[in-house]
Structure 1
Amino acid sequence: SSRIFMVWFITHSIKQIQNEESVILFLVVWTVTEITRYSFYTFNLLNHLPYFIKWARYNFFIILYPVGVAGELLTIYAALPYVKKTGIFSLRLPNKYNVSFDYYYFLIVIMFSYIPLFPQLYFHMLRQRRKVLHGEVIVEKDN
């Protein structure tokens, strides 16, 4: 869902940021990630998975994931002044729904949500990497 959000509700909707280097950054990272992921899936379905593809699937993310997140966050940050100026996707009171929504503050909340979510997802991938590449059995503790 973050990809749909980044493409449609940020990059497509806010034309002024489409030439930002951060957009190129996250698009290149996404492209390499998808090529690696779907190569892994394809070769795995064919029961002929070259070790390099398996290795790439569980190692490239170590660099690509933080770089991609940085690209996404920098793009959202670059969009903030335009969102604030234009009020895009915002709904102000009074209106017939009696509801207010400010897209500018929504984007700030989205940016802050990366703080708890990024480590969870990143460490999950590190555990998967250990399990797949090193055969470690990981016992998760119940809270």
Structure 2
Amino acid sequence: WGKQQETWIQNEESVILFLVVWTVTEITRYSFYTFNLLNHLPYFIKWARYNFFIILYPVGVAGELLTIHAALPYVKKTGIFSLRLPNKYNVSFDYYYFLIIVMASYIPLFPQLYFHMLWQRRKVLHGEVIVEKDD
């Protein structure tokens, strides 16, 4: 395993996938912030900020999850970033199970983030005001 496995994981296509998505996302986001601070926000930058995510978020999440999944056998075999008992801290931590929990957390968290961005998109691009009713 060792270096060969580390290199194998880094060469996964999923790594390229999420790196490209993150790059496009951050360029769009910081262009939006910069032009907004300069009080000269081109409509295309505003449009890109609130539309690119529709494809980029799911593709980025897929890249992240596929990369974590590819790393799981290496993490389990090597025990990397894990802390076993007994030790001077009297604490145990298993990075393998932590990664599984992180992957599972995408199930409830991703839809919340995605639908929040859809709500922001509707509000910003279409000027809709959503009023919550009290029961």
> 1:47: how far off?
1.3
Provide Cα deviations, 1:116-139, integer angstroms capped at 9, x if missing partner: 000000000000000000000123
Larger radius of gyration: 2
Does the CA-based 8 Å contact 1:127-1:138 persist in structure 2?
A: no
Distance verdict in 2 for CA 1:70–1:106, change over 3 Å = same
In percent, how many aligned pairs have the same letter?
94
* 1:43-82 alignment runs, 5 A limit: 43-82=35-74
TM-score (structure 1 length as normaliser): 0.85
What is the RMSD of the two structures over their aligned residues, measured on CA atoms? 1.6
Residues 141/114 of structure 1: CA separation in 2 closer, same or farther (3 Å cut): farther
Change (3 A) 1:111 1:42: same
TM-score by length of 2: 0.90
2: CA distance, partners of 1:34 / 1:48: 19
SS class of match (1:96): coil
Which is further off, 109-118 or 87-96? 87-96
Q: Check conservation: 1:91, 1:102, Cα contact below 8 A.
A: yes
With over 3 angstroms needed to count, the CA separation of the structure-2 counterparts of 1:93 and 1:140, relative to structure 1, is farther
Task: State the alpha-carbon separation in 1 of the partners of residues 79 and 32 from structure 2.
Answer: 42
Unaligned runs of 5+ in 2: 1-6
Cα deviation code 1:94-142 (max 9, x no counterpart) = 2222221110000000000000000000000000000000000123468
Distance in 1, Cα, partners of 2:109 & 2:119:
16
> CA distance change for structure 1 residues 141 and 20 in 2, over 3 Å: closer, same or farther?
farther
What runs of 5+ residues in structure 1 fail to find an aligned partner? 1-14
Residues 142, 35 of structure 1: CA spacing in aligned structure 2 closer, same or farther, 3 A cutoff?
farther
For residues 95 and 142 of structure 1, do their structure 2 counterparts lie closer, same or farther at Cα, with a shift above 3 Å needed?
farther
CA displacement 1:75-105 (0-9 Å, x = unmatched): 1000100000100011111222222111000
Looking at structure 2, the residues matched to 89 and 27 of structure 1 have their Cα atoms a distance apart, in angstroms, of 23
Distance 1:141 1:43, change over 3 A: same
Q: 1:142 to 1:18 in 2, by over 3 A?
A: farther
Say which SS state the counterpart of residue 99 (structure 2) adopts. helix
The answer (yes or no) to whether the contact 1:33–1:61 under 8 Å persists in 2 is: yes
